[in-house]
Amino acid sequence: MLIRILVAAAAMVAAPCALGQTRVMLKSAVKMETAIDSLLLSHIAEITGDGADALGAVEVAPSPLSARDRWVTVDIEQVRGALTKHGVNWGTTSLHGSECRVRLESQAPTVQSESRAREARPGKPEPQPVSFTGPSTIKMMAAARLADLYGVERGEIRIAWPVDDTGFLEEPVGGRRIDLHPLGVATSARVPLRISVFEGERMVASKLVTAESLVQREIVVVTERVARLELLSEASIAVERRWVSPGPKAPATPNQVIGRCALGHLDTGRVVNVGDVGMPLAVKRGEVVDVHCLSGTITVRMKARALSDAKVGELVQLRTEGQKQTFSARMDVPRRAVMVVGGMEAVGSSGVPRSAVEPAAVSTRSEGPR
Q: What local confidence, expressed as pLDDT, does residue 251 receive?
A: 84
The reply to whether 210 and 133 lie within a common domain is: yes
Predicted confidence at residue 113, as pLDDT, reads: 37
Same structural domain, 49 and 85: yes
Which of 228, 247, 278 is where one domain is finished? Answer: 278
Q: Which of 278, 304, 330 is the last residue of a domain?
A: 278
115 band by pLDDT with thresholds 50, 70 and 90: very low
3-state secondary structure of 310: strand
- Tens digit of each residue's pLDDT (9 = 90 or more) over 56-108: 888 887 655 544 445 677 888 888 888 888 888 888 888 888 888 777 654 43
CA distance 64 to 131: 35
Domain boundary among 194, 215, 236: 215
Question: What's phi and psi for 107, nearest 5 deg?
Answer: -75, 165
Distances (CA, A) of 39 to 23, 55, 60, 121, 245: 19, 13, 6, 19, 21
The pLDDT value recorded for residue 349 is: 45
Residue 3 lies in a domain: no
Domain count, the chain: 4
Distance CA 145, CA 181 (A): 9
Residue 8 lies in a domain: no
What pLDDT does 20 receive?
62
Same domain, 223 and 184: no
The DSSP bridge pattern shows strands 315-319 and 310-311 to be unpaired
Please state, in angstroms and rounded to a whole number, the distance separating the CA atoms of residues 139 and 147.
Answer: 12
Its domain, for residue 181, covers 128-215
Q: 3-class secondary structure for 143-187? A: HHHHHHHHCCCHHHEEEECCHHHHHHHCCECCCCEEEEEECCCCC
Domain of 94, CATH number, reads 2.60.480.10
Number of residues assigned to the chain: 370
Report DSSP state, residue 359: G
Question: What amino acid occupies position 115?
Answer: S
Query: How much is the pTM?
Result: 0.47
What string of DSSP letters covers 239-264?
Answer: EEEEEE--STTPBPPHHHHTT-EESS
Tell me the C-alpha distance between 226 and 267, whole Å: 7
- Spatial separation of the C-alpha atoms in residues 219 and 360, rounded to whole Å: 50
| Contact between residue 288 and residue 318 where contact means Cβ atoms under 8 Å apart | no
Is the distance from CB of 254 to CB of 239 less than 8 angstroms? yes
Whether 217 and 189 have beta carbons less than 8 Å apart is answered as: no
Tens digit of pLDDT for each residue in 192-239?
Answer: 999 999 999 899 999 999 999 999 988 899 988 888 878 888 888 898
pLDDT tens by residue, 252-289:
888 888 888 888 888 888 889 888 888 878 888 999 99
- pLDDT at position 176, please? 93
CATH of the domain at 234: 3.90.1210.10
pLDDT of residue 116: 44
The DSSP result for 74-140, as a single string, is EEHHHHHHHHHHHT--TTSEEEE-SEEEEEESSPPP-HHHHHHHHHHSPPPPPPEE----SS-BHHH
Residue 307 CB partners (closer than 8 Å, separation 6+) = 285, 316, 317, 318, 319, 326
- 317 and 293 share one domain: yes
Here the CATH number for the domain that contains residue 331 is 2.30.30.760
Average pLDDT, stretch 238-251?
83
pLDDT of residue 70: 55
pLDDT in tens, 8-58: 554 444 444 445 688 888 887 777 665 566 778 888 888 888 778 888 888
Q: Give the residue from 103, 88, 95 showing the smallest Cα distance to 46.
A: 95
Based on the fold, state whether residues 139 and 211 are members of the same structural domain: yes
The answer to whether position 9 is within a domain reads no
Instruction: Write the pLDDT tens digit of every residue in 134-190.
Output: 899 999 999 999 999 988 999 999 999 999 999 999 999 988 999 999 987 777 888
Residues 20 and 31 in one domain: yes
Same domain, 221 and 271: yes
Is residue 177 assigned to a domain?
yes
